[in-house]
A = this chain, B = another copy of it.
Amino acid sequence: MAAAATRQHIVEAADRLFYERGFEATAFADIAAATGLSRGNFYYHFKVKNEILDAVITLRLERTRLLLAGWQAAAETPVERIHSFIGMLIGNRAKIMLYGCPVGTLCAELAKLDHIASSRASELFTLFREWLAGQFSLLGRAADADRLAMHLLMRSQGVATLAAAFRDEAFIRREVEQMNLWLEALSPAASLPLET
């Protein structure tokens, strides 16, 4: 059953192209060229283009869950885990400066298109939001955990947008440092174990 592999191949190529060029601007011919498959073949795996988008969003949701679970397991303190989230901006800085944040730009495009998958795309944000809120709760900020999560999410989105507009890596590093300081200031006690 090589079909599953082919389907996966298509979805991953679409995932990359949707990020780099946008959903609407990516034609089947582009995905066909990227995968080396024929155009018509797509319609065996997906009836309409929206189904590919759906599959891409599903893939991203899965990968995001894995990413969050990885951070959850790799770090012992919530502060460390939140640092992992912030660190994404550094780790993905090259692509971010070219194409912005994959989540933010997809949501923005689908919102403008009034696309059905718009709400499903924002679930990607919700994953980060709820995970971050969980970490802030562990930090003893259960009362305003969601507020803090949204604040941090907001800052990462703003950084990605401006970093792409100005192609400015120094700006990313500067703001990331400020976000880390903001986090440390939130609960100085909880972060102490990191420095011992």
Hey, which bits of chain A sit against chain B, CB under 8 A? 20-22, 24-25, 98-100, 104-105, 107-109, 111-113, 122, 125, 147, 150-151, 153-159, 161-162, 164-166, 171, 174-175, 178
- A108 touches which one: B108, B166, B174 (CB < 8 A)? B108
* 21 pairs of residues in contact across A and B, judged by CB atoms under 8 Å: A20-B112, A21-B113, A22-B112, A99-B111, A100-B112, A104-B161, A104-B165, A105-B108, A105-B112, A108-B164, A111-B165, A122-B165, A125-B162, A147-B174, A150-B162, A151-B178, A153-B158, A154-B162, A157-B161, A157-B162, A158-B158
User: How often does this chain occur in the complex, in copies?
Assistant: 2
Inter-chain contacts of A125 with B (CB < 8 A): 162, 165-166
Inter-chain CA distance A47–B21, complex, in Å, is 25
Inter-chain contacts of A157 with B (CB < 8 A): 157-158, 161-162
Inter-chain contacts of A107 with B (CB < 8 A): 161, 164-165
The majority secondary structure among interface residues of chain A is: helix
Inter-chain CA distance A166–B99, complex, in Å, is 22
Q: Tell whether A162 pairs with B171 under 8 Å between CB atoms, given A22-B109, A99-B111, A108-B100.
A: no
On whether the beta carbons of A151 and B175 are closer than 8 Å, the reply is: yes
Inter-chain contacts of A175 with B (CB < 8 A): 150-151, 154
Inter-chain CA distance A100–B178, complex, in Å, is 25
